[in-house]
Amino acid sequence: MVMVLFLITAATEMEMAPIRQRLANCQGVEFLVTGVGMVEAMLVLVRRLNLSAATISGVVNLGVAGAYVDTGVQILDLCLAKREVIGDLGISDGEQVIPFTNAAIKSPREFSLQNPLQARATSILDDQEIMHHTGIFVTVNAVSGSESRGLFFRDRYLAICENMEGAAIARACAAFGIDCLELRSVSNMVEDRNPAQWRLAEAINVCADAAAQLIPALLELQP
């Protein structure tokens, strides 16, 4: 049996299916659909890591994201996370979310993804001339349905995009001492909600194409 080197996660089977198809002949990977949202993602990933974290040298979290306006990021662009932030943990005040300041109830909200796995991925993407943006991602429990809410998260965290699982995946990996990499393709802009403008299927395939080039190259660099 081949030892698992990279655990590839995605929130939905829709996002995972083309990735699994493109990497069907790739040795040293395992695929895990986590479910949507932080609770499901944390539960499913921790359950898997508890079985045998020692077989996993890195977690690669793939999927789609909504991009904040005026960040230079556009629909179908690739985004690589350097940090994940839980955006809506705190006190809701209209479109804003104010973080807790009381030390008794504060909990970790920001998780760095700047690690050796991310550094290798950046080098591969650059060498293969795969255009991508690197920046801060915001994880939310409810996707932003208005441009004003997106602008709040963008400006507060200097973030480029949002998703619903990334911070949970990063937090679990940190607890197990496993490097985490997060790469997403933009399916929509975070604006006043208009699903007619979304390009979900195309974004999923953009991410899968990038994974098909990135993952084998990462495996070649494994010691």
Query: What value does the mean pLDDT take over residues 107-134?
Result: 93
Q: Is 105 within the bounds of a domain? A: yes
Q: 137 falls in which pLDDT band (50, 70, 90)? A: very high
Whether residue 71 has pLDDT greater than 50: yes
Distance separating alpha carbons of residues 24 and 147, to the nearest angstrom: 39
SS (H, E, C) the chain: CCCCCEEEEECCHHHHHHHHHHCCCCCCEEEEECCCCHHHHHHHHHHHHHHHHHHCCEEEEEEEEEEECCCCCCCCCEEEEEEEEECCCCEEECCEEECCCCCCCCCCCEEECCCHHHHHHHHHHHHCCCCCEEEEEEECCCCCCCHHHHHHHHHHHCEEEEECCHHHHHHHHHHHCCEEEEEEEEEEEECCCCHHHCCHHHHHHHHHHHHHHHHHHHHHCCC
pLDDT of residue 168: 97
Q: Quick one: pLDDT at residue 201?
A: 96
Q: Would you place residue 16 in the very low, low, confident or very high pLDDT band (cuts 50, 70, 90)?
A: very high
Least reliable range by pLDDT among 19-23, 132-136, 211-215, 217-221: 217-221
What integer pLDDT is reported at residue 207 of this predicted model? 97
Q: Residue 1 falls within a domain, yes or no? A: no
The pairing of strands 179-190 and 58-68 is parallel
Domain-embedded: residue 101: yes
**What's the pLDDT tens digit per position in 72-92?**
999 999 999 999 999 987 677
**Does the pLDDT value for residue 3 go beyond 70?**
no
Give percent above pLDDT 90 in the chain: 80
Mean residue pLDDT across the chain: 92
How many folded domains does the chain comprise? Answer: 1
Q: Which pLDDT value is given to residue 2?
A: 44
The reply to whether 149 falls in a domain is yes
Residues 28-52 have a mean pLDDT of 95
4-8, 56-60, 84-88, 102-106: range with lowest mean pLDDT = 102-106
Q: What is the CATH number of the domain that holds 113?
A: 3.40.50.1580
Question: Is residue 191, in this structure, part of any structural domain at all?
Answer: yes
What is the domain range of residue 162? 6-220
Residue 128 — pLDDT band, cuts 50, 70, 90?
A: very high
Residue 44 placed within a domain: yes
pLDDT digits (tens, 9 = 90+) for 140-177: 999 999 999 999 999 999 999 999 999 999 999 999 99
